[in-house]
């Protein structure tokens, strides 16, 4: 259940290992900033935003990442290339974390990506994303290659077959159009609502079994779209539900997580780290292995427990 026969790809994205066997590396958390109603940045979408508040949130994310062992980056939401440029300049001055740009319209996304290339920061940029709805995937791939883009997200989803298998078929279609040629490829298996998160997780397993590619999803899509639950369960109930889904999603065959607004990081990062600790012991029970990444949450917080497990007759020595 937590070990694949297929060799699992581990990509080096700006110094962060992404992918591998379950439990091998902590999942990359991708938080959003500058989205609509963002209470951190308070952007007016015209280049004016709370720079000090946003800088403080970035520092908080870096602190949480160090404390939990969970790597972090930000996807900045922009409606135009000009808006994206403002955010990119600010971000590069404020943090060393890698970044992405979240823009739905392909042509505007391409123009923002051109600015990334002009700055020469392709190594720390995650292109989000090549989607099944893009009209010219081959042309998009070639444009990205010409710009020196190395790290991409492929979004896998089939409107006609919304099962896990449909997501696999969608990925195969996109990859057949040249999207399999980048240095780093991670697969977003498209969460559509909270209960269908399970379809995304099963698709993660299927894709890792067949192709060994890093997989994950926007598990916050499912939780934050369930808006009426705040009235039914209250804000604390919503926060608890969100933390559980984010943690559980990140533990089940996930190498990354679009984890929602940056302001939720103080609850999401500990939830994900806790889930990954449990994943590590599940992997140990199945395989006898605890991987040697020093940033694994279990190694950061329960090193003595690992020693006791191994001395107590584990199946194998740690890798």
- Encode pLDDT of 266-282 as tens digits: 999 999 999 999 999 99
For residue range 156-211, what is the model confidence (pLDDT) as tens digits? 999 999 999 999 999 999 999 999 999 999 999 999 999 999 999 999 999 999 99
In the block, tokens 């505007």 appear at 108
Place 219 in a pLDDT band, splitting at 50, 70 and 90: very high
List the one residue out of 12, 180, 33, 184 whose CA is nearest residue 100: 33
7 is a domain residue: no
252 is a domain residue: yes
316 is a domain residue: no
For residue range 233-254, what is the model confidence (pLDDT) as tens digits? 999 999 999 999 999 999 999 9
Query: Mean pLDDT for the chain?
Result: 94
319 is a domain residue: no
- How far from 48 is each of 34, 43, 51, 94, 169, CA to CA, in Å? 11, 6, 8, 16, 42
110 is a domain residue: yes
Place 317 in a pLDDT band, splitting at 50, 70 and 90: very low
**What's the domain range around 64?**
12-311
247 is a domain residue: yes
3 is a domain residue: no
Measured in whole angstroms, how far is the alpha carbon of residue 313 from the centre of its chain? 35
DSSP collapsed to 3 states, the chain: CCCCCCCCCEEEECCEEEECCCCCCCCEEEEEECCCCCCCCCCCCCCCCCHHHHHHHHHHHHHHHHHHCCCEEEEEECCCHHHHHHHHHHHHHHCCCCEEEECCCHHHHHHHHHHHHHHCCHHHEEEEEECCCCCCHHHHHHHHHHCCCCEEEEECCCCCCCCHHHHHHHHHHHHHHHHCCCCEEEEECCCCCCCCHHHHHHHHHHHHHHHCCCEEECHHHHHHCCCCHHHHHHHHHHHHHHHHHHHHHHHCCCCEEEEEEHHHHHHHHHHHHHHHHHHHHHHHHHHCCCCCCCCCHHHHHCHHHHHHHHHCCCCCCCC
141 is a domain residue: yes
Average of per-residue pLDDT across 220-241: 92
Q: Are 283 and 2 in contact (CB under 8 A)?
A: yes
Place 309 in a pLDDT band, splitting at 50, 70 and 90: confident
Sign of the alpha-carbon dihedral angle for 277, 283, 289, 295: negative
Our CA dihedral for 294, 9, 97, 93, rounded to 10 degrees, sits at 140
pLDDT attached to residue 319: 47
Domain count, the chain: 1
pLDDT attached to residue 278: 97
Average of per-residue pLDDT across 123-147: 95
How far is it, in rounded angstroms, from Cα 60 to Cα 130? 30
Tokens linked to 211: 């192709």
For residue range 54-83, what is the model confidence (pLDDT) as tens digits? 999 999 999 999 999 999 999 999 999 999
Here the CATH number for the domain that contains residue 228 is 3.20.20.20
């Amino acid at each position: 259940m937590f070990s694949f026969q297929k060799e699992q790809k581990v990509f080096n994205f700006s110094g962060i290992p992404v992918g591998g066997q379950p439990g091998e590396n902590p999942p990359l958390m991708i938080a959003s900033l500058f989205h609509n109603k963002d209470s951190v940045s308070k952007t007016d979408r015209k280049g004016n935003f709370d720079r000090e508040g946003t800088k403080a949130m970035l520092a908080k994310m870096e602190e949480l990442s160090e404390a939990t062992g969970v790597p972090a980056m930000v996807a900045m939401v922009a409606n135009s290339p000009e808006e994206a440029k403002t955010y990119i300049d600010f971000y590069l001055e404020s943090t060393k974390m890698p970044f992405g740009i979240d823009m739905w319209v392909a042509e505007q996304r391409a123009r923002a990506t051109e600015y990334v290339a002009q700055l020469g920061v392709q190594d720390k940029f995650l292109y989000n994303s090549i989607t099944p709805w893009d009209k010219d995937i081959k042309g998009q791939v070639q444009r990205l290659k010409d710009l020196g883009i190395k790290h991409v997200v492929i979004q896998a989803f089939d409107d006609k077959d919304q099962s896990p298998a449909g997501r696999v078929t969608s990925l195969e279609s996109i990859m057949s159009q040249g999207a399999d040629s980048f240095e780093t490829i991670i697969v977003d298996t498209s969460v559509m609502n909270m209960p269908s998160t399970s379809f995304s997780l099963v698709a993660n397993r299927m894709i890792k079994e067949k192709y060994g590619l890093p997989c994950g999803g926007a598990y916050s899509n499912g939780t934050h779209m369930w808006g009426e639950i705040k009235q039914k369960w209250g804000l604390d109930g919503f926060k608890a539900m969100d933390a559980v889904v984010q943690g559980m999603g990140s533990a089940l065959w996930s190498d990354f997580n679009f984890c929602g607004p940056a302001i939720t990081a103080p609850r999401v990062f500990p939830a994900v780290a806790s889930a990954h600790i449990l994943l590590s012991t599940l992997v140990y029970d199945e395989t006898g292995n605890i991987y040697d990444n020093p940033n694994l949450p279990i190694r950061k917080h329960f090193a003595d427990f690992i020693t006791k497990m191994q001395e107590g007759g584990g199946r194998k020595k740690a890798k």
